[in-house]
Every structure is written in structure tokens, then in C-alpha cells.
Amino acid sequence: MANEIDSKIEQFKSGIFSLRTNFGELAQLMIQEKYHLACADDNTYDLKDPDKQGIESHVEVKFSRAYKNPTHICLSNVLTICLNSSIDIYNSDEWEDGQFFCNIEQVKPDLFRTIYYGIFWNDKIEVFCLDNAKHHLFPDSLDQFIEDKSYRKQIRENIPYFYLQHNKKDYQFHLKKKSLPVHRQNFAKDIITYEELYGLFSPKE
């Protein structure tokens, strides 16, 4: 029975890393079930904290998967790589690899007060939480962030690698070797195992 359950968990995890655009929906459902949050009232934010009112209740969810960078494809290896393709994922203790990179993007802090974000590793899921009502770390002014170099530096001292995206309206920040310790020290929320995640979605008896 144990082997059957382990096999099902591995299949479940493999499916998560194979998801395409609906990966974000899975992460949102995980946070909703884990922290007993409610559905949003509109599509400008993801979830709602039923214990709060107005914009203070708005919750955003952003997760990334810790894919390893694929081998560069060239004429001499293209067939070999495609014929033997597999999904290669970092374990959580491999974060110091200089190639490790996860991007938290399309962040719109004027539309929410709390953001749950994190990384789906091969061995676990790491959850962070930044409550802007509590931490006051997101930019208050888009114009000031664009025009004031010292202000941008101040923001990045608290949230490393915090940038505007190409549309000049949304923000993004990077989880990588040099920034992950800052998030672990200041914004760590939970570690979720894939067994626990599977249980969150399993029918309750």
C-alpha cells in the first residue's frame, strides 16, 4: 500500500512540473486551501482574506518551479536531447547553484496587500509571505521608482532584484542564489510537502 501511495505522489508531482498555463491556478488553489482564504470578488487579484475588509483583504499568489537550465541545443545534439528529454528540477538544497533562477512576475502591489509566493522544488514547496500592510516594502509610487535611483536602491535593499517589467507598469523580482537567503530570513511562511499538497486536494472523508 505504501508503494502505491508513493507512486501516486510521484505521478502527482510529475504532473505539476508538466503543467502549462494552469500551474498558477494550482498554486492559487494550494494557498486557498492551506490558509482558508476565499475566492476574489474580481480578476484584479487572486484571493481574499475573509477576516479583513476592502483592499486589505486582497491576496496575490505567485509561484515558480525550480527548473534546471536545459543543455544548449545545437546541430550535433538536437536529436539526442529531444529523444531523451526529461524535466530536471532542483532540490531545495541545491539553491547555491549559480544557474538557479526563479522569477516572480506581474506583481501589481497597488491591487493587493498580501502576496504569497515561492518555489516548487523537487523535494518540497517553499512558501513565502510578504504583507505590505505590515512590511511596507513595495514601492508607493511608480513614477518615483522609475525616476529616483536612490529610491529604487532602497526598495532593492529589502527585496533584492526588484525591477519593472518591460511594460513599465508591473514589477518583478528574482529568487536566485544571492537573493533567496533574504527571502528565507525575512518572509519565510511554510514548507509544504507533496504528500501534504496531495492531501489538501484529496476528497475529505
Q: How far is CA 122 from CA 14, 19, 92, 106, in A?
A: 9, 14, 7, 24
Mean per-residue pLDDT, 16-38: 95
* Separation of alpha carbons 57 and 76, rounded Å: 54
Q: What's the pTM value of the predicted model, to 2 decimals?
A: 0.91
For residues 152-168, average pLDDT: 95
Reported as a pLDDT band with limits 50, 70 and 90, residue 158 is very high
Residues 18-35, mean pLDDT to the nearest whole number: 95
pLDDT band at 86 (very low <50, low <70, confident <90, very high): low
List pLDDT tens digits, range 53-65: 999 999 999 999 9
pLDDT at position 21 = 84
With CA atoms as reference, report the closest residue to 164 among 184, 188, 143.
Answer: 143
Name the strand (E) or helix (H) holding 161: none
Residue type at position 4: E
Note the pLDDT of residue 51.
95
- What's the rounded Cα separation, in Å, for the pair 38 and 50? 6
- pLDDT: is 76 or 142 the higher one? 142
Rounded mean pLDDT, 34-47:
97
pLDDT of residue 203: 76
Residue 69 above 80 pLDDT? no
Inform me whether the pLDDT recorded for 5 exceeds 80: no
Give residue-wise pLDDT tens across range 115-126. Answer: 999 999 999 999
Place of cell 476574489: 40
DSSP 68: P
